[in-house]
Amino acid sequence: MGGHWTQSAFDILTGANTGIGKETARDLSGRGARVLMLCRNLEKAEAAVQDIRAADPQARLEVHPLDLSSLASVRACAGRLLEAEERIDFLVNNAGLMVSPKSLRTEDGFDAQLGTNHLGHFLLTNLLLPLVEKAATEDFRPRWTLLRNTRISA
């Protein structure tokens, strides 16, 4: 990924307060990136920041609210980022529901898993693509990715 990524990267990560997301935030910040943690539960996100900073006081971590089950929240979060940031080097879509009751719906009326795991990320990514594209240079290609920890039941 080269020096650009490690020295001045701005990375955005959804679902960064536990599990794979928290460890990804730890790794990216440990490489010198400024990491914006987009999380629904801000208490858990702040606890994750404290935990990461206990081992790495120089970690550049920020927490912003994002509820992927609400398309209004996704639009509001993306709007704030589009106004405040110049670019995004690495967008990691990680947040998601593992198992939810079939009757659970988003505020927009979608199945909770579909809305959170797919539609919210799809909208967020599409709204933030202009910032991802701005990070591109001759020597650096910005990236977006989807992380998933899939549980398969027999």
Q: What is the pLDDT of residues 51-76, one digit of tens each?
A: 999 999 999 999 999 999 999 999 99
E strand residue ranges, 15-123: 34-39, 60-65, 90-93
Check pLDDT > 70 for residue 7: no
Ordered by start, the domain boundaries in the chain are: 2-146
For the chain, state the CA radius of gyration.
Answer: 15
Range of lowest pLDDT (8-12, 35-39, 54-58)? 8-12
With 0-12 CB in 10 A as exposed, 13-18 as middle and 19+ as buried, what is 139? Answer: exposed
pLDDT for the residue 40: 96
Could you tell me if 25 and 102 are in contact, meaning their C-beta atoms sit under 8 angstroms apart? no
Check pLDDT > 80 for residue 152: no
The neighbour count for residue 5, using CB atoms within 10 Å, is 21
What's the rounded Cα separation, in Å, for the pair 108 and 32? Answer: 38
Topology classification of domain 2-146:
Rossmann fold (3.40.50)
User: Which DSSP string corresponds to 99-144?
Assistant: ---TT-B-TTSSBHHHIIIIIHHHHHHHHHHHHHHHT--SS---EE
Check pLDDT > 80 for residue 153: no
Q: What is the pLDDT of residues 90-111, one digit of tens each?
A: 999 999 887 667 788 999 999 9
